[in-house]
Chains A and B, each alone.
Chain A
């Protein structure tokens, strides 16, 4: 079914319910960690079916109206073949009188709810994010189209010099050409810079991706498509801290609770963790920072509530070890052993020794 038809069908149901003098409602999947399960066969967080409901109650009436208005906005965008950024959609809502959004996170939430209700990706309902998808350098040719002529456009990521290719917000139309051996996804732009500067991709015959924190949907989708189509292994290199493990790596690999409805396409189940582990902190005698209260809380929370961590004993052990050590280490701490220690020693050793990885 086309997006507009889907939207209309939902609206029609609301309309008919009202005509029957019954309380209208909108049901949508609850987007949170306690509404997902992890099955390694599928490789991503799947919804388990809890729904949230919006209807004529004091606590839900506003979002009920806002959801319908957001659907109306989406329909008009799709019908005119246009797009709106999340922020633009937020500004459009300023015309909605009392139903307007006060802050953008509110409108983002309602937008995600519309997505989840229709089980589609936000691009399909006409909305695009502001954020960059991430940077690429290395042995990859991205095949895109010229925005005016529609002519094929080949972007060679080996020819970006000291810069990089930027992943667009929508990646479905891209095609890839590569003979690289693997993809290396890196947490920080700083580490990415170092690897680019020293042409690490040339030595290792790989594609470098800078995620810049938690990978965006576009970034995840890009890596997923590339890895699937070219059958490439994916390695993830993050800081040794609960955020790097639980937010960045976990989201890349299996998706998030918040985007549970689209995880299926926006995750990279084949990803492996080659970032700084608590054991690495000991083995490499890395300089550390003490864990803060929030870090300890995050560790506890991951062990207790995260279906992915719960499934993997080795992750629980690593997290418990970190909680005991009460310290964390950044990936750039490797510079203690020389600025290019990461290139000459750490990465080659890591990639060779599968036992030092985490699932």
Chain B
């Protein structure tokens, strides 16, 4: 035996299959669990996304309770409860404790979750950082008992491990699901905080009530602003243009269609008999070939044939935009500005996936003048908090020339000015740059639509800023003119001996003449009855508040045995001791 063979054999012993769960264990940053701060946010985000999707799918107005309790310096407990349809027993463990198990990966419909990773990744993270299982309580019917189970993920097999299971009474709920998990995290206030995330979620989901209790035991209620559920997104079949070769092969294997033609017609949108025939022709394949017999090479022919064939764009009625009005209203709640505008673009298509861009903008008022604009990004009603730089939305804003619209901007940077821009992308498949779903990938079609939407708001902003400048100049001129009016009446008093009270009358007449001559001076001011001061504060706290940092000092003291309690007051008393 040569040395080489020995090595190969030894190496072969070391090679083994890695499960998805195991992979994640080592690469948690890919799913947004890079550090304790982000992990807490991502966990809340995945749980909330799931709950909202479940409620909306069942056409229930969501009411979600989020409670975060600090157990120790870096350990938190998350309790999330929704009023969704509940989950049938057989699926509970798979949904929460098997990665890539989901209802959404194989269908095309506008939803928050897409790939079935989110919540199980959170469960896995909890398990990795605390060693504890996650408890799921769920109830599907008023007349049934609730089912409670404690779950873990077997990271080697990516299979759920049920530690404990029981039927219990859950009186307060007719139906719904409750998740309880412990995890390592870090709580803070301000930008990129859980508070901010939940607030933004509430703003773009006005049909939702969120009751949030943060680790400081502050309860914040974001009440529902409308009883109307968003238009139900329609599920569509994939469009041929949006399918990659691997996916195509998989679809050929799993299809119920007996012939290639039937497969094309039934499994894709926008493919009728004629188009199917044309695709077959362009691929040099027989329309009556059996899909299961199509080889890899033939599949590649088919793939190229699809590209050659002209196929009409997918239907776009499957999208459920927030609507420009609602987006603008959300902005009004949050910001006291002088000017608001919003636009919803008509739906468009990238790679066979329908999508739609909406944009709203608030300018002036109480916003900072000398800082870069505030950009809020959303995808399928989910706030995007991290990675602004890598996001197509940010890039679109940067690539637009803002100087003509009245904001100053250094080359290809975010503009500077008292302005907030909100951008939302709705799509059956949102192309995120990573599994953590933090930034949109910049497909040319998406970038183009983003720019069109933002530019349209920009143009309106430009008109407003010009008008404001004009009014400012006019008001300066007018007050200059008004300065001299009393001297005119005074001179007339001296010249014609008119009486003092008549002098005042002359002043008034002159003011009137001036107004008649130059028009009524329009005033620009904040007129915003929708503003919600308490809401606006959340996530905008200047000083980042951190429990952990405050606890650094007592940590050095010997009596460290008792973990500090949740409540801020309690904590202070312990410190005094």
Interface of B is mostly: helix
Asked whether any CB of chain A lies closer than 8 Å to the CB of B481, the reply is yes
B470-486 vs A, CB cutoff 8 Å, 1 = contact: the mask equals: 00000001001101110
**Pairwise interchain contact B480-A56, C-beta atoms closer than 8 A:** no
- Tell me the chain A residues, 76-117 only, with Cβ under 8 Å from chain B: 76, 96-99
Give the residue name and chain of the B residue nearest to A99 (CB): B487
Question: What are the interface flags for B489-502 relative to A under an 8 Å C-beta threshold, 1 for contact and 0 otherwise?
Answer: 01110111010000
Q: Is the CB of B487 within 8 A of A96?
A: yes
Is residue B509 within 8 Å, beta carbon to beta carbon, of the partner chain? Answer: yes
Interchain nearest-CB distance for A172 vs B (Å)? 26
CB distance from B36 to the nearest CB of A (A): 62
B163 within 8 A of A: no
Question: In the complex, A61 Cα to B518 Cα: how many Å?
Answer: 14
Residues of A within 8 A of B513 (CB): 18, 21-24, 56
Query: Among A24, A58, A71, A72, which residue has its beta carbon within 8 angstroms of that of B480?
Result: A58
Proximity bits, A1-38, B CB within 8 Å = 1, else 0: 00000011001101100110111100000000000000
- Point out which of B483, B487, B510, B517 has the most chain A C-beta atoms below 10 A from its C-beta: B487
| Residue B488, interface by CB 8 Å | yes
B492 and A61 form a contact (CB under 8 A): no
Asked if B492 and A56 make an inter-chain contact with CB atoms under 8 angstroms apart, the answer reads no
Kindly state whether residue B506 has any CB partner on chain A within 8 Å: yes
Tell me, yes or no, whether A204 is within 8 Å of chain B by CB. Answer: no
Cα A44 to Cα B449 in complex, Å, equals: 74
Beta-carbon nearest neighbor of A4 in chain B:
B495
A266 within 8 A of B: no
Determine whether B512 belongs to the interface, using a CB cutoff of 8 Å to chain A: yes
Residue pair B495, A97 in contact (C-beta under 8 Å)? no
Assess whether A57 is in contact with B481, with CB atoms less than 8 Å apart.
yes
B491 touches A72 (CB 8 A): yes
Contact: B481 with A58, CB < 8 Å?
Answer: yes
User: Given A65-B487, A65-B488, A96-B487 in contact, is the A56-B514 Cβ separation under 8 Å?
Assistant: yes
Measured between alpha carbons, how far is A72 from B517 in the docked complex, in Å?
27
Does B516 make an interface contact (CB < 8 A)?
A: yes
Partner of B492, one of A68, A97, A98: A68
For B485, list chain A residues within 8 Å (CB).
Answer: 65
B484 and A11 contact, CB distance less than 8 A: no
Chain B positions within 8 Å of A182 at CB level: none
Cβ of A234 to closest chain B Cβ, rounded Å = 41
A127 at the interface (CB under 8 A from B): no
Chain B 302-336: CB-based contact to A (< 8 A → 1; otherwise 0): 00000000000000000000000000000000000
Q: How far is the CA of A104 from the CA of B487 in the complex (A)?
A: 19
Contact B495 A72 (CB under 8 A): yes
A21/B481 in contact, CB under 8 A: no
Given A19-B509, A21-B516, A71-B495, A58-B487 contact (CB < 8 Å): no
Closest chain A residue to B476, Cβ basis: A58
Query: What are 19 contact pairs spanning A and B, CB under 8 A?
Result: A8-B495, A11-B491, A11-B495, A18-B506, A23-B513, A24-B513, A56-B481, A56-B510, A56-B514, A56-B517, A57-B481, A58-B477, A58-B480, A65-B485, A65-B487, A68-B487, A68-B492, A68-B495, A75-B494
Chain B contacts to A: CB under 8 angstroms: 477, 480-481, 483-485, 487-488, 490-492, 494-496, 498, 506, 509-510, 512-514, 516-517
Interface on A for B, CB 8 Å cutoff? Answer: 7-8, 11-12, 14-15, 18-19, 21-24, 56-58, 61-62, 64-66, 68-69, 71-72, 75-76, 96-99
